[in-house]
Amino acid sequence: MAYDRNNVFARILRGEITCNKVYEDEHVLAFDDISARAPTHVLVIPKGEYVSLDDFSAKASATELAAFIRALGHVARARGVADTGYRILANVGRDGHQEVPHFHAHVVGGRDLGAMLPRR
């Protein structure tokens, strides 16, 4: 799947849409999800043009990969959920119900998040 430069997160990265920034460095931007599902719900995105975790894991440099993982931990500590616990979630593709085609991880916490997935 080709990267769509008009997706909403690309527009946030270009400053065309505002966000509530939580963290930023050379490779990563983190901001509050506009439709929070928990007291803490932050989206962490790479600045590079990667469609999904599949794309990112295959093509990102070791530096970008490391920066992304470090940012996840930084956000959790900055939001005060590191001690109580939290969940990192990345939806990928059709079955994962990924809505925005720019790779992102959700950092959710601040309440008991329940079981990982409903059983079917």
- Catalytic residue ranges: 104
Residue 6 or 35: the one with the smaller Cβ distance to ligand AMP is 35
Among 3, 7, 8, 88, which residue sits at the site for ligand AMP (rule: CB under 6 A)? 8
Among 14, 99, 114, 116, which residue sits at the site for ligand AMP (rule: CB under 6 A)? 99
Residue 33 or 54: the one with the smaller Cβ distance to ligand AMP is 33
Q: Is residue 91 a contact point for ligand AMP (CB under 6 A)?
A: yes
Sheet with 105-109, edge to edge strand ranges = 21-24, 28-32, 40-46, 105-109, 86-89
Looking at the DSSP assignment, which residues form a beta bridge with residue 86?
109
Q: Is residue 82 a contact point for ligand AMP (CB under 6 A)?
A: no
Give the single-character DSSP code of 55.
H
CB of 70 to ligand AMP, least distance (A): 21
String of contacts with ligand AMP for each residue 14-53, x by CB under 6 A: ---x-x-------------xxx-------x----------
Residue 97 or 120: the one with the smaller Cβ distance to ligand AMP is 97
d(CA 79, CA 53): 24
Q: Is residue 100 a contact point for ligand AMP (CB under 6 A)?
A: yes
Place of tokens 């959920």: 81
d(CA 4, CA 79): 31
Exposure of 65 by Cβ count < 10 A (0-12 exposed, 13-18 middle, 19+ buried)? middle
